[in-house]
A and B are shown apart, each in its own frame.
Chain A
Amino acid sequence: QSALTQPASVSGSPGQSITISCTGTSSDVGNYKFVSWYQQYPGKAPKVMIYEVSKRPSGVSDRFSGSKSGNTATLTISGLQAEDEADYYCYSYTVSDTWVFGGGTKLTVL
């Protein structure tokens, strides 16, 4: 299985909205609702921001939202803040009863 495809980097100014795409196949993203997104700061463990495509865990800002269309899932961060600068990874269940991460996207807040 190949890693899900994410842009290597995205950037935005404070207050703006950005999107991060995560493209898989019909064997993973396209076939299951079990797509989640993780935020990771340098030297830290990842933290879930979105699960089951669009659900937000308790305590996560409502500025974070998720969606999916076909084989591509999308993370949207609105009202960008300096603290959002981090690496973001998508993660999906696959038809082989395995799981796969995206390659990761570095978000820079300008």
Chain B
Amino acid sequence: QVQLQESGPGLVTPSETLSLTCAVSGDSISSSYWSWIRQPPGKGLEWVGYIHYSGSANYSPSLKSRVTISVDTSKNQFSLKVYSVTAADTAVYFCARYYCIGGTCSHFDYWGQGTLVTVSS
């Protein structure tokens, strides 16, 4: 049974850095591609970016200048950093696993439960 669990501070000060970690169990982080998705309160889903265990990553064009996703294979987890946050970064942040075959990915098959991060002073 694959499980993903997000963790990190629930409150971040404006202009600071938001840092979250997604711990993966029941599967190796080296088996697939992994992603962060966020959802502001009462709004829709927004794709943030993806990471492969090799370190290959890509990000939403709207966030690219402020986001980094990294992977730690020794801990079987991956992480998200959002820099210079504002109130607009307040959201539930989900981590998810891509279903991939032969390096081609098609959809998310496993999700974390999500964690709410509020940006406020």
| Majority secondary structure, B binding face | strand
Are B111 and A99 interface neighbours, CB within 8 A?
no
Which residues of the partner chain A approach B94 to less than 8 Å between Cβ atoms?
A: 45-46
A34 and B106 CA atoms in complex are apart in Å by 5
Are A99 and B50 interface neighbours, CB within 8 A?
yes
A91 CB within 8 Å of chain B:
yes
A52 and B47 CA atoms in complex are apart in Å by 18
Are B47 and A104 interface neighbours, CB within 8 A?
no
Which residues of the partner chain A approach B37 to less than 8 Å between Cβ atoms?
A: 101
- Over the window 79-110 of chain A, the binary record of Cβ atoms lying under 8 Å from chain B Cβ atoms (1 yes, 0 no) is 00000000101010000111111111000000
- With A45-B111, A45-B113, A46-B111: A98-B106 Cβ-Cβ less than 8 Å: no
Are A101 and B107 interface neighbours, CB within 8 A?
no
Q: Say how far B65's CB is from chain A's closest CB, in angstroms.
A: 14
